[in-house]
Amino acid sequence: MNGPLWLLAPFLAVGAACLLFWAGLRAERARWWPLQRAARVAVERAGDGTRGTGGGDDPHALARRLSEVVSGLQAYRRHTAAEVANLRAALDGLEEGVVLLDGYGSVMLANAAARKIWGALVPTVRGPQEIELFGQADVDRALSDVRRDGRPRVLETAHGDPPRIYEVRIRPLARGDAVAPALLAVTRDMTEIRAVERMRREFVANASHELRTPLTAIQGYADTLREGLLDEDTRRRYLERIAASADAMARIVDDMLTLARVESFETPLRRTRLDLAEVAADAAETFRPLFAERGLRFSANLAPAPAFADADQLQHVAANLLSNAARYTPPGGSVHLRTEVREADGRRWAALIVEDTGIGIPPEHRTRIFERFYRVDRGRSREAGGTGLGLAIVKHIVARHEGRVWVEGREGPGSRFVVLLPAEPQPSEGET
């Protein structure tokens, strides 16, 4: 399904199930009534010996007929009860809360999810169309409105402590002989969906802002060059700045694509048994020239650290952490890389630690530093050439490995980034 149709699929399924349940109850009553009437007539005839209009009714035959009717009635009730029990079990398995009310305001059905969300669900009928059920003013008002005019309602409401966002769909069923139509109310938890939508909006806004800065620079320098009134040195300097801005845009786009692949699981993990020290050593050799160029002292202490991980993905982790250290450590500072084995929560972990003597991260920012485009100092980060996505990429790769990553302070200036990765596969995980 495309667009919003996938959001409606659970509600359509729930509605169909509840209609079947409601129709089943009506059908049961419709089919049960003739059996009850026949049984009643048979009992009357067997009890007083009267004869029917056909004449010659034998009391023994009537008794046998009564026994057959009673047996059929009992079998049918058992079959119907089993069907109703199966349907109730199916509805209790749904994540959506389902409530079915008859035309008199009585709750005919409330599945487990509905009771968990709304509690006891004891209706209070205030009048022919007014009813209070959910203990939530806007939802009860919509419920009464549907009883009054028979038109479906859809609303979102915040409920619970802490509050969660729920979408409630209320639609009428058949009225029958009641004062109001029967009602079906389906509640769906939309908290995570709305959070993802909010994150997407923020991502688009932040990405647009990050791309606008180098793009504005390119446009400004290009307009100046177009006028053709510059000497050769100035022209060359402007062209270099255009190239630098274009490189910055390319880095942002590359990191956005990498993050999108990681978040969408487009790139499958190819986990094998490896030594994290070897992965770190490869990354260290790649970054040694950059550290030397920026006047930084670099050291490494790479002890064997067995891990069960994707080597290519871990290269991204190590590269982003070392790049981050190089970018925010001033000349004359130092960067230290090490690997080791740690024990935590009854498991063995391979640890990758990157320490620097850079500008550091204040404690109040450490829990958010792994968010996309989050910057402690936007101006300084942009000057250093960061995209604001490197640490977000690290977080998502580590999460896919069921590992942990955090940043902590250290004695003196700087920061310490710690990554823990499982040393062994879980029993449910297969090796590739």
Q: Is the pLDDT of residue 223 over 80?
A: yes
The predicted structure's pLDDT at residue 5 = 45
DSSP 8-state symbol, 34: H
Is 308 in the same domain as 377? yes
The predicted structure's pLDDT at residue 18 = 58
Mean pLDDT of 196-204: 78
The rounded distance, in Å, linking the Cα atoms of 87 and 21 is 7
Do residues 314 and 278 touch, judged by C-beta distance below 8 A? Answer: no
**CA nearest to 128, candidates 147, 108, 100, 154:** 147
Mean pLDDT of 195-216: 78
The rounded distance, in Å, linking the Cα atoms of 42 and 56 is 14
The answer for residues whose C-beta is within 8 angstroms of residue 135's C-beta and 6 or more apart is 118, 119
CA 214 from centroid of its chain's CA atoms: 34
Do residues 138 and 157 touch, judged by C-beta distance below 8 A? Answer: yes
What CATH number is associated with residue 282? Answer: 3.30.565.10
The predicted structure's pLDDT at residue 296 = 93
Assign 52 a pLDDT band (cuts: 50, 70, 90). very low
Average pLDDT, the chain: 79
Is 291 in the same domain as 421? yes
The predicted structure's pLDDT at residue 165 = 93
What CATH number is associated with residue 202? Answer: 1.10.287.130
- The dihedral built from the CA positions of residue 132, 133, 139 and 144, taken in this order, carries a sign that is negative
Mean pLDDT of 145-153: 88
Do residues 279 and 305 touch, judged by C-beta distance below 8 A? Answer: no
Assign 167 a pLDDT band (cuts: 50, 70, 90). very high
SS3 97: strand
Is 300 in the same domain as 408? yes
Domain boundary among 205, 232, 267: 267
The residue behind tokens 């859809």 is 154
The rounded distance, in Å, linking the Cα atoms of 22 and 106 is 13
Is 259 in the same domain as 297? no
More confident residue, 52 or 252: 252
Domain boundary among 189, 208, 231: 189
Assign 398 a pLDDT band (cuts: 50, 70, 90). very high
Assign 21 a pLDDT band (cuts: 50, 70, 90). low
Is 51 in the same domain as 135? yes
Do residues 103 and 148 touch, judged by C-beta distance below 8 A? Answer: no
Do residues 359 and 328 touch, judged by C-beta distance below 8 A? Answer: yes
More confident residue, 395 or 261: 395
The rounded distance, in Å, linking the Cα atoms of 383 and 380 is 5
Is 256 in the same domain as 279? no
The rounded distance, in Å, linking the Cα atoms of 423 and 303 is 14
What CATH number is associated with residue 86? Answer: 3.30.450.20
* 117 HSE (CA, 13 A, CB side): 30
CA distances from 245 to 204, 252, 323 (A): 20, 11, 19
Is 184 in the same domain as 321? no
Is 293 in the same domain as 411? yes
The predicted structure's pLDDT at residue 204 = 76
Tell me the residue length of the chain. 432
Mean pLDDT of 314-339: 91
Domain count, the chain: 3
The predicted structure's pLDDT at residue 62 = 63
Assign 55 a pLDDT band (cuts: 50, 70, 90). very low
Question: What's the per-residue H, E or C state across 58-90?
Answer: CHHHHHHHHHHHHHHHHHHHHHHHHHHHHHHHH
Is 87 in the same domain as 142? yes
Terminal Cα distance for the chain, rounded: 33
The parent domain of residue 208 ranges over 190-267
How many other C-beta atoms are found inside a 10 Å radius of the C-beta of residue 418?
16
Residue 429 structure tokens: 């995980």
The predicted structure's pLDDT at residue 6 = 46
Is 292 in the same domain as 237? no
Do residues 65 and 42 touch, judged by C-beta distance below 8 A? Answer: yes
- Which pTM was predicted? 0.57
**CA nearest to 141, candidates 133, 103, 98:** 133
Q: Is the pLDDT of residue 50 over 80?
A: no
Do residues 92 and 112 touch, judged by C-beta distance below 8 A? Answer: yes
Domain boundary among 233, 267, 301: 267
The predicted structure's pLDDT at residue 366 = 84
Assign 334 a pLDDT band (cuts: 50, 70, 90). very high
- What secondary structure does DSSP assign to 272-304, as a single string? EEEEHHHHHHHHHHHHHHHHHHTT-EEEEEE--
Find out whether the peptide bond into 162 is cis, omega within 30 degrees of 0. Answer: yes
Is 285 in the same domain as 431? yes
* H and E: helices and strands count for the chain: 10, 14
Is 123 in the same domain as 166? yes
